Amino acid sequence: MKTLSVGNANVDLLLYVEEPPACGAQVEACLFEKRPGGAASNFAVAAAKLGVSSSILCCVGSDSEGDWLLRELEACGVETSLVAHVEAPTGFVVIVVDKRGERSMIAFRGANALLAQAVRSLNSSLKADWVHVASVKPDTAEAALAIAKSLGCNTSYDPGSLVAKVGLRQLEDVFRFVDVLFLNEFEAATLMAVDYEEMDHVFEKVPVTVVKMGSKGSRAAAEGCWIEAPAFPVEAVDTTGAGDAFDAGFVFAYASGLSLREALIFANACGALKVTRRGSQASPSLSEVINFLKERGFEALASKLLMSSESFNRKAMDR
Ligand code: ADP
């Protein structure tokens, strides 16, 4: 299986605190880390760790931080030939993580603001079975997903919290090109005041809608039915990037031929393992997820996933 992830790549500056500061207050951070991040970059790394042939289309600055991000992506096995070096500084995000693992963020978009130009360079030479667009505004997402669909790819879109605020109407045009829509609970609430009956109607244009619900797990709607899978209880230290690890897990499992429920369970395991570790790209490898599922009584699902993904990868290599 080959995935292309389209969206942001950032330098994450992580500050770990007991409690985030109130307005006008100052708090001490007990730990500071600089890590690669950005939703599309996180997804690309998470997919590569699951054994998927993973590439990324994003923009970085022609600066040392941009070079560093590329080296980090390549070290994780992500193919970077579609990355654009642009005349703007590489994007930064300051992330404050509290003692419960919950985070607040301040983003400087920088080079990411020029993604629309890079998307225009996508053409028929694109080699991917699945194109995932993450945290990208609707018009740019629509352009990328329309190209992907015209080339016969499966697609997913995770609009992210800022985009959810633009409202459903602006997203409806994008939905025409989306096979799987990912939202978290906050985004779903912002879009339609969390009336799941309403969502059946609203998302009739999207074959599968997945709602990620943090420590409560996830649910998915397809053909008017909701399926739910509870989260795996774990001790969360950092929830940054959990949604991206979840998305990559879901795409991997669903494209490998697992049912919707099985894909949710697999994706929940990816998200749960991620939150036990620091950093937005600390997503698990395939063998870590398989072992985790086995330890929690999902041996049959783990074996089925291994068999399905092997045969799926064989078919993809034959193509
Ligand atoms: P996002 O990062 O997009 O806001 P969530 O916070 O809902 O998404 O996390 C994505 C998935 O990761 C959840 O659906 C769940 O499967 C898993 N997850 C997140 N937080 C926890 C937690 N505290 N315990 C167990 N699993 C979690």
Residues marked as catalytic: 244
Atom of ligand 1 nearest to the CA of 269: 16
Other Cβ atoms closer than 10 A to 136: 28
The pLDDT > 70 percentage for the chain reads 91
193 — phi, psi (to 5°)? 50, 35
pLDDT digits (tens, 9 = 90+) for 108-146: 999 999 999 999 988 777 889 999 999 998 999 999 999
Atom of ligand 1 nearest to the CA of 218: 14
CA distance 303 to 319: 25
| Ligand 1 atom 14: residue of nearest CA | 212
CB 39 within 8 A of CB 136: no
- Of 275, 292, 296, the residue with max ligand 1 atoms within 8 A of its CB, to mutate for a pocket test, comes to 275
Using the predicted structure, report yes or no on whether residue 63 has a pLDDT greater than 90: yes
Q: Which of 160, 140, 177, 2 is nearest to 58 (CA)?
A: 140
CA distance 183 to 196: 13
Lowest-confidence region among 99-103, 130-134, 282-286? 99-103
Interval 228-247 mean pLDDT: 95
CA distance 147 to 143: 6
Interval 46-66 mean pLDDT: 97
The pLDDT, as a whole number, for residue 149 is 95
CA distance 49 to 30: 29
CA distance 111 to 90: 5
The pLDDT, as a whole number, for residue 203 is 65
Atom of ligand 1 nearest to the CA of 101: 23
Lowest-confidence region among 2-11, 155-164, 192-201, 207-216? 192-201
CA distance 66 to 71: 9
Using the predicted structure, report yes or no on whether residue 318 has a pLDDT greater than 50: no
The pLDDT > 90 percentage for the chain reads 72
Higher pLDDT, 173 or 312: 173
Residue type, 85: H
| Ligand 1 atom 11: residue of nearest CA | 271
Which element (helix H / strand E) includes 220? Answer: strand 218-222
Which element (helix H / strand E) includes 59? Answer: strand 59-61
DSSP-assigned states of every residue in 183-202: EEHHHHHHHHTT-HHHHHHH
| Banded pLDDT at 59 (limits 50, 70, 90) | very high
Q: How far is the CA of 188 from the centre of ligand 1 (A)?
A: 14
Using the predicted structure, report yes or no on whether residue 80 has a pLDDT greater than 70: yes
Q: How far is the CA of 212 from the centre of ligand 1 (A)?
A: 6
Using the predicted structure, report yes or no on whether residue 76 has a pLDDT greater than 90: yes
Using the predicted structure, report yes or no on whether residue 319 has a pLDDT greater than 50: no
* Domains of the chain, each with CATH number or no CATH: 2-318 (3.40.1190.20)
CB 155 within 8 A of CB 132: yes
| Ligand 1 atom 3: residue of nearest CA | 243
Average pLDDT of the residues of the chain: 90
